[in-house]
A = this chain, B = another copy of it.
Amino acid sequence: MVSAHTDPDYSAAYVVIETDAEDGIKGCGITFTLGKGTEVVVCAVNALAHHVLNKDLKDIVGDFRGFYRQLTSDGQLRWIGPEKGVVHLATAAVLNAVWDLWAKLEGKPVWKLLVDMDPRTLVSCIDFRYITDVLTEEDALEILQKGQVGKKEREKQMLAQGYPAYTTSCAWLGYSDDTLKQLCAQALKDGWTRFKVKVGADLQDDVRRCQIIRDMIGPEKTLMMDANQRWDVPEAVEWMSELAKFKPLWIEEPTSPDDILGHATISKCHNRVIFKQLLQAKALQFLQIDSCRLGSVNENLSVLLMAKKFEIPVCPHAGGVGLCELVQHLIIFDYISVSASLENRMCEYVDHLHEHFKYPVMIQRASYMPPKDPGYSTEMKEESVKKHQYPDGEVWKKLLAAQEN
């Protein structure tokens, strides 16, 4: 169940669920890491596997809330989580595979499966444990029922125009100023209007890089910043005051993802309980979801609904391995059936590793075009899996041999 990667910095646990049906349909699920650690996640996937093995898909999705609870509440495994870190990443990979399988059997992409699902069934996929103080089952139903109004038009609009995206590909830390300028010029040419720059290593360096990019894109286009948890709270305040002159729409992850009270703007979180409090504490102005970190569609549904209740725009985190492929389903569903708004909303895009996926994302005019193939767009090309499998794939054999020399 392991698959690894061209770039040794990214790797992924790739879960494939096969069934005994004659249709040969497989459910593929993924969660990725930044390199080391995938072997730990795979180990956790194996610890969860018995929940899926020899089960009937109908029984799983027929009581999807119960199944989610089973995966996340195993009395013994809860200790090494709960619902966080390695165990929750493994949960995401397994559940992503289940959703891929289900959608393929229904002959629909996941976003469309969700859009067509009646509100009661949708709600039955969600575990409300620990969030009923801000979102009850009745609240969720009400939101989804309201979302039915105008749904058809919004679906048409998505199919025609896609969902607005922003690019993070230009401005990673470590790029030279020349590379930054070149990538930014190319992105402008390709029609991008929203850009994210990574900051937080060195303030003077950040100021220079932000100046370059703001000069190139002009005052009107959108600029976001991502500090990747580099700061303490006082440091974040100081640094952010310096960078404010470049008019960022947000500064992402200024500090520890666990620091609800210290949080300022936008955060990638590990579960719905953390998101709930960020909303309660009004510590978020934007909310990022992640289908490889949260418990798949199920847990993301609860977060989308809480965001709607608090009227906070959702702007998914993407990149990594296949995350763009996954989150596009969630955000397109969110627009059609939940938020019904595009104001201040956009989905991250990183042009990276899509070539390994059988149904890669399609970007047109800086927007995600709704996928049409059945499933969750999680299936990788056989060729890619074979080549990058750890430790026996061709790419790894070469890497490991090189290490030995």
CB distance from A121 to the nearest CB of B (A): 23
Q: Does A33 make an interface contact (CB < 8 A)?
A: yes
**Per-position binary interface string of chain A over residues 255-286, scored 1 when its CB falls under 8 Å from any chain B CB and 0 otherwise:** 11111111000000011011011001100000
Q: Does A147 make an interface contact (CB < 8 A)?
A: no
Known: A9-B76, A281-B261. A40 touches B33 (CB 8 A): no
- Binding stretch for chain B, among A102-110, A126-134, A239-247: A126-134
Instruction: List the B residue with the shortest CB-CB distance to A81.
Output: B85
Give chain B residues whose Cβ lies under 8 Å from the Cβ of A85: 80-81, 84-88
Name the interface size band of chain A. 35 or more
Residues in chain A within 8 A of chain B (CB atoms): 9, 33-37, 39-41, 43-44, 47, 74-89, 128-133, 229, 232-235, 255-262, 270-271, 273-274, 276-277, 280-281
So how many copies of this chain end up in the complex? 2
Give chain B residues whose Cβ lies under 8 Å from the Cβ of A262: 130, 133, 277
CB distance from A160 to the nearest CB of B (A): 37
Q: Report 23 cross-chain contacts, Cβ distance below 8 Å, ordered by A residue.
A: A9-B76, A33-B79, A34-B76, A36-B77, A37-B47, A37-B76, A37-B80, A39-B47, A44-B86, A82-B256, A86-B87, A130-B255, A130-B256, A130-B258, A132-B235, A133-B233, A133-B234, A258-B271, A258-B274, A258-B277, A260-B261, A261-B281, A262-B277
In the complex, are the beta carbons of B88 and A234 less than 8 A apart? Answer: no
Give Cα A77–Cα B80 distance, bound, in whole angstroms.
16
CB distance from A295 to the nearest CB of B (A): 13
Give chain B residues whose Cβ lies under 8 Å from the Cβ of A260: 260-261, 277
Give Cα A317–Cα B347 distance, bound, in whole angstroms.
43
Give chain B residues whose Cβ lies under 8 Å from the Cβ of A86: 40, 44, 80, 85-87
Give Cα A41–Cα B44 distance, bound, in whole angstroms.
9
Give chain B residues whose Cβ lies under 8 Å from the Cβ of A259: 130, 273, 276-277
Give chain B residues whose Cβ lies under 8 Å from the Cβ of A271: 258
In the complex, are the beta carbons of A261 and B232 less than 8 A apart? Answer: no
In the complex, are the beta carbons of A257 and B82 less than 8 A apart? Answer: yes
In the complex, are the beta carbons of B36 and A47 less than 8 A apart? Answer: yes
In the complex, are the beta carbons of A75 and B34 less than 8 A apart? Answer: yes
Known: A259-B130, A261-B281, A281-B261. A40 touches B80 (CB 8 A): yes
In the complex, are the beta carbons of B34 and A78 less than 8 A apart? Answer: yes
In the complex, are the beta carbons of B257 and A79 less than 8 A apart? Answer: no
Instruction: List the B residue with the shortest CB-CB distance to A230.
Output: B129
CB distance from A290 to the nearest CB of B (A): 11
Task: Tell which of A260, A270, A281 has the most Cβ of chain B within 10 Å.
Answer: A260
